[in-house]
């Protein structure tokens, strides 16, 4: 057994990376869990024509994006290639110019393909992506009456990962949700390089080891001192934000989150997607509802304050949260086992479009270069109740409840409940039924702002539809 895997510096650890290498680079969201010292060292090393495998590319000079800014990347295999709004990133600019090829992969499929490569498995069948562009050109096989897409294993030449502690044997200990993609990326690599905050004297206690050293080839101490960034809601996207219709204010995002939380049955395990759905976590206090994050956390709760937060505890939106009693951490492979295995009862997602056939589109729209599939395709394929939170129309007035989705689908016929800032809709197997409308709005107004016919539930009345709290 190799007895010393410690390298003197990040530069030494990446010195042999050749042009054209395929490199899995860990990291979550825009700033969390990136092996920043290694990416900076690889930029200085200068290897070209790289294929980067990643969940997201991050931002700034310390993440994967720095390699793209330096024109070292030829191909991307990622879950996120684009921002939903704002200026185009260097990656989007180079993709649009044809300088970088991109393959978008659902997050759960990405980690499973890398895990399969490390386990000597050539391919896996998954329900994720059935009926979407992800399945195009791939074998779809019906097994016991269910359609599955064949996804090939994804071996890589190198993996750059991050951990809290290591020993000279390459054993790793992760902090909080910081383990997310690290184990699967390391297992799928010929050479796995771990950047750590601390290298212990002697050896890590066996019970503290989250990834055994057999999967890790090189260990370096971090040299890029990158401070955690506290993520707060974008201007106009906080809980008090509200959109106007016909000169009247719809429900605020906070009110929508409260309404959505009230629709979740007691005893449920629930996944909250990025964006507006993350606000639901502020409305489960005192309830028997357990929140699940695909980044590797079960049992988190409300948002943390900037003056008191744990940088190793964040939700799927990269926002810092609290851990409730009984909470736990695990890697992303395990997180998606919980989803695809049917252990998660409900998911709450944002949406660009929901149509009259209960189809959902929430990962790409025309203004985007590529898109951001993330874990949404895995989540809607898991068999749990799918709830969508979104504004009733786009800011320019375009319908979001449409007759037919014309954006790429996240999942076909998967939506059970829609909560907009004007109404609550429930799918009855044939159509969406209005259960409730915002105070000051009529059923006819809601129908006018919806691109398909609506029907009111038998129990619906204008008074019952109003938003009224104690």
- For residue 248, give the nearest of 437, 386, 85 by alpha carbon: 437
Give the pairing type, strands 297-303 and 321-329: antiparallel
Q: Which residues contact 60 (CB under 8 A, 6 or more apart)?
A: 31, 66
Out of 294, 319, 331, 435, the active site residue is 294
201 flagged as catalytic: no
Burial 382-406 (b: 16+ CB within 10 A, else e): bebbbbbbbbbbeeeeeebbbeebe
User: CA angle, corner 85, sides to 182 and 388, nearest 5?
Assistant: 75
Enter the tokens of residue 180: 């997310």
E strand map for 70-145? 73-78, 101-104, 123-126, 140-143
Number of H helices, E strands in the chain: 11, 26
Q: How many CB atoms sit inside 10 A of residue 204's CB? A: 18
- 361: helix, strand or coil: strand
Q: Which residues contact 166 (CB under 8 A, 6 or more apart)?
A: 6, 172, 173, 194, 196, 198, 199, 200, 204, 216, 219
**Alpha-helical segments (H) within 203-330:** 253-262
HSE, side-chain direction, 13 A CA sphere, residue 402: 18
Enter the tokens of residue 183: 């184990």
* Enzyme catalytic residues: 294
């Amino acid at each position: 057994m190799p007895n010393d895997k410690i390298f003197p510096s990040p530069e030494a650890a990446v010195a042999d990376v050749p042009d054209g290498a395929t490199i899995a680079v860990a990291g979550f969201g825009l700033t969390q869990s990136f092996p920043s010292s290694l990416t900076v060292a690889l930029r200085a090393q200068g290897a070209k024509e790289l294929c980067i495998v990643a969940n997201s590319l991050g931002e700034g000079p310390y993440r994967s994006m720095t390699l793209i800014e330096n024109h070292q990347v030829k191909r991307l295999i990622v879950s996120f290639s684009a921002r939903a709004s704002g200026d185009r990133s260097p990656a989007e600019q180079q993709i649009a110019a044809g300088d970088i090829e991109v393959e978008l992969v659902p997050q759960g499929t990405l980690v499973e393909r890398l895990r399969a490569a490390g386990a000597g498995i050539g391919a896996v069948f998954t329900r994720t992506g059935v009926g979407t562009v992800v399945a195009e050109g791939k074998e779809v096989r019906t097994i016991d009456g269910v359609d599955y897409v064949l996804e090939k294993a994804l071996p890589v030449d190198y993996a750059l990962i991050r951990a809290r502690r290591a020993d000279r044997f390459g054993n790793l200990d992760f902090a909080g949700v910081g383990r997310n993609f690290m184990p699967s990326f390391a297992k799928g690599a010929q050479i796995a390089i771990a950047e750590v905050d601390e290298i212990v004297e002697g050896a890590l206690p066996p019970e503290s080891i989250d990834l055994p050293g057999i999967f890790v080839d090189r260990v370096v101490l971090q040299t890029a001192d990158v401070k955690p960034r506290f993520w707060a809601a974008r201007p106009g996207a906080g809980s008090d934000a509200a959109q106007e219709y016909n000169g009247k204010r719809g429900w605020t995002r906070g009110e929508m989150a409260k309404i959505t939380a009230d629709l979740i049955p007691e005893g449920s395990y629930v996944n909250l997607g990025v964006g507006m759905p993350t606000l639901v976590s502020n409305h489960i206090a005192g309830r028997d509802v357990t929140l699940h994050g695909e980044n590797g956390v079960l049992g988190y709760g409300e948002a943390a304050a900037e003056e008191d937060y744990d940088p190793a505890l964040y939700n799927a939106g990269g926002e810092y949260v609290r851990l409730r009693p009984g909470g736990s951490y695990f890697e992303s492979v395990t997180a998606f086992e919980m989803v695809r295995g049917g252990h998660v009862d409900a998911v709450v997602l944002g949406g660009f479009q929901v149509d009259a056939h209960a189809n959902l589109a929430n990962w790409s729209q025309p203004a985007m270069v590529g898109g951001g599939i993330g874990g949404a395709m895995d989540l809607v394929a898991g068999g749990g109740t799918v709830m969508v939170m979104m504004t009733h129309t786009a800011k320019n007035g375009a319908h979001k409840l449409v007759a037919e989705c014309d954006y790429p689908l996240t999942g076909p016929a998967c939506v059970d409940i829609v909560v907009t800032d004007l109404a609550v809709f429930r799918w009855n197997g044939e159509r969406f039924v209005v259960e409730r409308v915002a105070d000051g709005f009529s059923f006819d107004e809601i129908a006018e702002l919806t691109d398909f016919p609506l029907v009111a539930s038998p129990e619906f009345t204008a008074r019952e539809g109003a938003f009224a709290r104690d």
